[in-house]
Amino acid sequence: MNFYVASSFHNIKQVRDVSERLKRKGYIHTYDWTQNSRASTVEELKKIGEMEKLAIIESDVVLVLLPGGKGSHVELGIALGLNKRVILYSPQNEVTDFALTTTFYHLPEVEVCTGSVEELVDYVTAGNVL
């Protein structure tokens, strides 16, 4: 099963942790944006955007780890538009904080997972036979 992890640069360690845990369970990471340095030119932004879009297209599941940045919310929109399985990870249940939430977090097709990273990985892999 292919997966993509969307989040902000502030969450790089957590993104890498989740990715490594899923890969150890046989999942395939479609693109690891954490290996990039911050883009400094429009051409770099374009190239990264194309790779991230393709990674979402190739994914079976898209994980969005909160807090997210501008890019992760665009990625959420792409995934929803492509009818991908979307799991929103809200470790402290921030999704219910009206000052932090957004309408798209509450769509019926968005699965919300709270708790530890271990619980997130268990949630993603529950019932999936590779």
pLDDT value of position 38: 83
The reported pLDDT for the residue numbered 83 is 98
H/E/C letters for each residue in the chain?
A: CEEEEECCHHHHHHHHHHHHHHHHCCCEECCCHHHCCCCCCHHHHHHHHHHHHHHHHCCCEEEEECCCCHHHHHHHHHHHHCCCEEEEECCCCHHHCCCCCCHHHHCCCEEEECCCHHHHHHHHHCCCCC
Please provide the average confidence, as pLDDT, over all residues in the chain.
93
pLDDT digits 0-9 by tens, 94-127: 898 888 899 999 999 999 999 999 999 999 999 6
Q: Which fold has domain 2-125?
A: Rossmann fold (3.40.50)
Find out whether 103 and 128 touch, Cβ atoms under 8 Å: no
Q: What is the mean pLDDT of residues 49-66?
A: 97
For 1-13, what is each residue's pLDDT tens digit? 999 999 999 999 9
**What does pTM read for this prediction?**
0.93
> What are 5's strand-pairing partners?
63
Cα of 91 vs its chain's centroid, Å = 13
Mean pLDDT of 69-74: 93
The answer, yes or no, to whether residue 128 has pLDDT greater than 90, is no
